[in-house]
Chain A
């Protein structure tokens, strides 16, 4: 080839390469625009995230607040490696995971102009852990147990906060990254969050029309320069499921609500509007059966185990979720969670083997307790009077019938569900549990620890308590993983609260929405600072 030809070819190739790079390069974020999101109900307690345990509060409040640290909003997986600092610039564990030091950002302002400092962090966490000298008190404090290991919170200077723990707890940092751990302002009354929101977040609350919508407007003084991209947000309340889906399809809403889109609904949406972007993600919400361990017949562990054997997990996933769920034990399963059991361990659990074998095993266990087809066990299955609970309960009742347990369905209104469950005023119940964060400390202390108000089964095992303590302090990640696995297997063997499946969400967005990445839990994304519109 002649020299000039070689040059020409090289130039041509270079040109092609550049064009290819330009075409595949991500589009540049555009500023401005408005986004319409939805809520399935109005905020129950306004923006008082610390007094609430429902995504109906946490998701619409995300744009208002900041945490010390949070899971990277642009990455789907929530792990300790994906933590990024928000109000904290840097942090470090000291003294073998006993003290956690945060170095806070400077020049951060609250939405009312007041400066942010370590005082606000100390205020928030003293209030959460109900320290005796806390400056304020929460009316309802659902996550007090998350902070039971905190000895003291110190603010030696306006930009430094130190958490002194009673004993090492490597998982503590992850718990601070949850959407349920925003920082409140020390200079306002915590009760004021029930009607409005003074935060440091990328958006300010412009208006909250009760029962209708929440309007947010861009925070021009946000501490990350150049963010947020959007000018405004609106979270619209639509109670009717059909109307919600229709609104999303018609383009009046741009984004679905986390955890609300089933597989079948997403297929329908995609068929109607092929351009919609659908991302299947985990939710950290599981279906489980709560069993009253204090009253006969379920005080007999064999009978409880029979219940677990009787329920074919895979059939449930197909029947109730049309495939939109995955099997798992008490921690979210891989790849949606970090602590999920290995495949072989999961398959060895009750309810995962061949259906006939599982049911036969269940019948054998029941026969040991004197329950047979001729002498069936009659119980009442309680559940909340909501479709998703009732569908699941109906399936379970069907399964139990096949092994000799005749369960009748009793629907309980929302207001009475928790008191009833906490009182132990039930025999067996179909339940849903959402994990605020994929962290065994939070999960096991809430749901399996002796005396915890959300341990509805009133399950109390010394061995389990020891294991919980042990894994909480274990600094070696592999060893901790093993302990958590043992823990999961043990609680499934005791069958006080057998886990049936973990729900998936088919998060749906219009294609012009960029920068919004759903996570594998529904509670910890939605800050909206990096979201922009391409149209």
Chain B
């Protein structure tokens, strides 16, 4: 709700001084950026599906049923079933949970770690900054998928390991974005003022600089989320991602799907559409957020 207006009743000014409530902001955002709104809706839909997977699923996602092998989409199996008779719809619904958890966790882990590194590196400057940047360059120079592959092979198949493996390539990218944002903020008047007053650096960094990187950080997260989901899918497809029995959209597309695809195209269609939809939603949302929160970063 709007805050109380000033005592003086000055038409126009009072309206301008009232901070818009969250609901208004949301509505304005939807109106101004319809694509972004759609993206947001998709993401919300995915998250809700993941959270309520147990309720939304019609079958146990890992229960096999030989009599239902490769069943067509129909009343019994809404999106058909795979060669072991597992219900595709239920697996996709549970897969949302897995893919989103892995995607969000790895994005957050990578972005937060990278963001912290970027924050401290950008704020401190000097030699520390130089060295940190070189280290980040090193990590970034290694192709994303290759890095995740090697990490995954090193750590072994398990969900926490996959999260770590995917987060590592995100760290340098996050560090770079946050650092450049920090660099521009650092020179601003109020930071100089804070330093003049004698506040300790760490305090300045966290209290004053950090909140202003929130915008770029959010943009970064939504941008990386799509990429994280795709990397997880690719890793699972190659056999190094999320292990059984957790249903993973990427793994649903490997081996068996390709083999039976002509008899049962739904094996290939639906998991792929699910992945595409999730990434699409996060990209739409990310784009819109970027346009709203930080027009300078457009196209970065």
Contact = CB atoms under 8 A, between A and B. Distances in A.
On whether A and B touch (CB less than 8 Å), the answer reads yes
A394 B66 contact: no
A54 B256 CA distance: 22
A326 to B, nearest CB: 16
A411 interface: yes
A322 B83 contact: yes
A360 B262 CA distance: 41
Contact of B255 (A271, A387, A393): A387
Interface string B233-250: 000000100011100000
Interface stretch (A127-135, A238-246, A494-502, A527-535): A238-246
A322 B69 contact: yes
A13 interface: no
B66 A322 contact: yes
Given A264-B83, A393-B244, A413-B153, 6 more contacts: A265-B259, A271-B262, A315-B66, A318-B66, A320-B66, A398-B64
Nearest to B243: A411
A413 B157 contact: yes
B199 interface: no
A242 B70 contact: no
A268 B245 contact: no
Given A385-B157, A413-B153, A413-B157, A264 B255 contact: no
Interface in B99-143: none
B146 to A, nearest CB: 17
Contact of B244 (A249, A318, A390, A413): A390
Interface in A240-297: 240-243, 245, 249, 262, 264-265, 267-268, 271-272
Given A241-B258, A322-B69, A394 B263 contact: no
Interface in A380-419: 385-387, 390-391, 393-395, 398, 409, 411, 413
Nearest to A319: B66
B159 to A, nearest CB: 12
15 contacts: A240-B258, A242-B257, A242-B261, A264-B263, A265-B260, A272-B262, A318-B66, A319-B66, A319-B85, A385-B239, A393-B244, A394-B84, A398-B64, A409-B245, A411-B157
B259 A398 contact: no
A413 B259 contact: no
A318 B68 CA distance: 11
A409 B243 contact: yes
A320 B259 contact: no
- Is the contact region of chain A dominated by helix, strand, or loop, or is it mixed? helix
A385 B153 CA distance: 12
- Is the contact region of chain B dominated by helix, strand, or loop, or is it mixed? loop
Nearest to B260: A264
Nearest to A415: B153
Contacts of A320: 64, 66, 84
Interface in A345-383: none
Contacts of B70: 264
Contact of A242 (B62, B157, B258): B258
A421 B289 CA distance: 52
A267 B157 contact: no
A245 B255 CA distance: 11
Given A271-B263, A411-B157, A245 B258 contact: yes
B91 to A, nearest CB: 13
Nearest to B239: A385
Give 6 nearest A-B pairs by CB, closest first.
A242-B258, A319-B66, A318-B66, A387-B255, A268-B263, A411-B243
A394 B245 contact: yes
A393 B244 CA distance: 10
Contacts of B260: 264-265, 268
Contacts of B84: 319-320, 391, 394-395
A387 B256 contact: yes
Given A411-B157, A411-B244, A413-B153, A243 B258 contact: yes
A245 B64 CA distance: 25
B254 interface: yes
Nearest to B157: A411
Interface string B66-103: 11011000000000000111000000000000000000
Contacts of B258: 240-243, 245
A265 B263 CA distance: 8
Nearest to B64: A319
Contacts of A413: 153, 156-157
A175 B187 CA distance: 81
B69 A395 contact: no
A430 to B, nearest CB: 11
Given A240-B258, A322-B69, A385-B157, A398 B263 contact: no
